[in-house]
Chains A and B, each alone.
Chain A
Amino acid sequence: EVQLVESGGGLVKPGSSLKLSCVASGFTFSSYGMHWIRQAPKKGLEWIALIYYDSSNKYYADSVKGRFTISRDNSKNTLYLEMNSLRSEDTAMYYCAKSGGGYRNWGQGVMVTVSS
């Protein structure tokens, strides 16, 4: 069974940094691209980043480009999202999701709150 488990969220002040993790199991992690998607409270979904299976390519939404960095460690079956210069508008539930004909598998999400 595919499982994705996010961690690392919390309450931080504007301008701070935070690093999210997503541990994957139940599939060959090193064979799949991985995404981060977020959802602000009572709002819709926003795709924010993609990393190819071998880290050869990375893509970002304009809203996070230059501030967030997606990475992965295939030896640890773990996806990361390093978030710098956090703003109040980054407050959201952050989900990791696995590529492949739509987002078939999602984590349970991790909450990030940016507030002074």
Chain B
Amino acid sequence: DIQMTQSPSFLSASVGERVTLSCRASQNINKYLDWYQQKLGEAPKLLIYNTNNLHTGIPSRFSGSGSGTDYTLTISSLQPEDVATYFCLQRNSWPYTFGAGTKLELK
């Protein structure tokens, strides 16, 4: 199975700050990498699919990049409503595997 490692596990940042979250795969996943946001008590929500495609309705302050084994989610200017846990998911091969998540809080 492909292992997905997210870093950091926890991040505290200020409103307006640029935030970068990382996800590393144990092997090449050919850009089949999604990012999900999960707020407390809610189901996850798709933010970005296939590395850098913004899902419908997601604010443009969210962006994704990467290739091979290393991928990044960037929030260009952190907003209070971005407080959540963020998960990456590889869909390159079965079984699909998620990262353990990065919990993002406001400083």
Contact = CB atoms under 8 A, between A and B. Distances in A.
Contacts of A104: 46, 49, 55
Contact of B44 (A45, A50, A62, A101): A45
A26 interface: no
Interface string A24-64: 00000000000000000000111100100000000101100
B91 A45 contact: no
A95 interface: yes
A61 to B, nearest CB: 5
Judged by DSSP, the binding face of A is loop
Interface bracket on B: 20 to 34
B100 A44 contact: yes
A106 B46 CA distance: 9
Interface bracket on A: 10 to 19
Interface in B21-69: 34, 36, 43-46, 49-50, 53, 55
A13 to B, nearest CB: 27
Interface of B: 34, 36, 43-46, 49-50, 53, 55, 87, 89, 91, 94-101
Given A101-B50, A102-B89, A102-B91, 9 more contacts: A45-B44, A45-B87, A47-B89, A47-B98, A95-B43, A102-B46, A103-B44, A104-B55, A106-B45
